[in-house]
Structure 1
């Protein structure tokens, strides 16, 4: 993001979401969504003054929201410098995929007897295919995230849903560093459809095999392209737990 005016304009519409019961959790929800959208990009410094003013919340409330998002590994706090959107290390990306493979494959493996409630999953597949036809690769990326979120939701576990929400939010930090959105997501739209079709046919074991290969291939491709992106000149400051200003200060 750019300066204070841009932040104020971008977040002004979110102020109504706080309602009359403004809380740090609600502020964190708004900022989490904005980070996922790329409104605040990895490495961006978050200004208490501009964000607090745009949302109409106290500094203490905003600091508590920052603390919550730091705990979720979306933000980092640097002493005497401020709060920044986290820039992942390459090892972080690989670890995210390890976690995804453990969780997503376990969900598919643990499904009961078919038929499965696949309407929400089917909607995400259609959403991705429609975005691809329109050349909207950011939309396709979002649909792909939704696909995996809905896949995990088949477990019917609020705790697993919460875990996956954090994992996928971290993954989007990596997506925002990579320029080739189409190349990153297009090959997997077809594979989403294949997994859906296997589940619709009641072929749980086949769906798990497809998913495992999918995640392994996605991990290998993502780690390679992410490593190139963060190593490129001008890719932004630091990786891992630290990130400085310079990838769009807020």
Structure 2
């Protein structure tokens, strides 16, 4: 936890003079999505509040917001913890991703598309793979899909998917071999980018639907092995 708090203190400047619960929840959501707080982590009010320089009431409101987003869970007399997902949670995350991401690609309109940020996410993943940093590769994969959703130019869609992608990171934490999970999708991300660069959104949608189905199957397989066939996800 000490390392996470040190990293979190770097975000304090982002609060500026508007240290609201919403801004705090944005920071914590981003940190969860980047893998700094694994599932089951107890979040210290004193530690996080001190790192960000916010009041206990502000932090508790931020916790409440993230609990509503299913990223945190409050346990009576124990505190607030980063949520441990169930198999059913993972399946629902991918169901949502398929509905939203495929719809974004389907609705792109006529090419060319603004793919600079998508290409940057592919390069980010390539660098992570070169450095054998598999956690960073997982983050780059999430960034790729976040930028894919951003092609819709819809703040509402971006907001919806921010918490979905943060939950996805919680699923990735359970994977015991992140290289085996993420590395094949770096190639698929590049192929999807090339297909969009060619302006073939129908083929891109088909590729994406297959991609997400394969990813779901792989993640669920790991979940069933790691947290039990009943999928309870209990700590």
The one of 124, 129, 141 aligned to 2:126: 129
Aligned residues: 233
Q: CA deviation at 1:6?
A: 5.0
Q: Distance in 2 between matches of 1:149 and 1:55?
A: 26
Instruction: Specify whether residues 128 and 8 from structure 1 end up closer, same or farther in structure 2 by C-alpha distance, changes over 3 A only.
Output: closer
Kept after mapping to 1: 8 A contact 2:33/2:139: no
Q: Distance in 2 between matches of 1:70 and 1:217?
A: 29
Q: Distance in 1 between matches of 2:4 and 2:117?
A: 33
Q: CA deviation at 1:8?
A: 4.6
Kept after mapping to 1: 8 A contact 2:39/2:82: yes
The one of 26, 34, 40 aligned to 2:23: 26
1:174 aligns with 2:171: yes
Instruction: Tell me what 1:85 maps to.
Output: 82
1:43-102 deviation digits (Å, cap 9, x = unpaired)? 111121222222221111110010111111100112222211100001110111111111
* Aligned counterparts, 1:51-66, within 5 A: 51-66=48-63
Kept after mapping to 2: 8 A contact 1:28/1:66: yes
* Aligned counterparts, 1:38-117, within 5 A: 38-117=35-114
Q: CA deviation at 1:16?
A: 2.6
Q: Distance in 2 between matches of 1:203 and 1:123?
A: 20
1:183 aligns with 2:180: yes
Instruction: Specify whether residues 195 and 20 from structure 1 end up closer, same or farther in structure 2 by C-alpha distance, changes over 3 A only.
Output: same
Q: Distance in 2 between matches of 1:111 and 1:31?
A: 31
Kept after mapping to 1: 8 A contact 2:29/2:163: no
1:108-146 deviation digits (Å, cap 9, x = unpaired)? 111101111111111111221222122222221111111
Any idea what SS the aligned residue of 1:111 has? coil
1:196 aligns with 2:197: no
5+ residue gaps, structure 1 = 233-237, 245-250
1:14 aligns with 2:11: yes
5+ residue gaps, structure 2 = none
Please say which of residues 90-99 and 45-54 is displaced more in the overlay.
Answer: 45-54
Q: CA RMSD in A?
A: 1.8
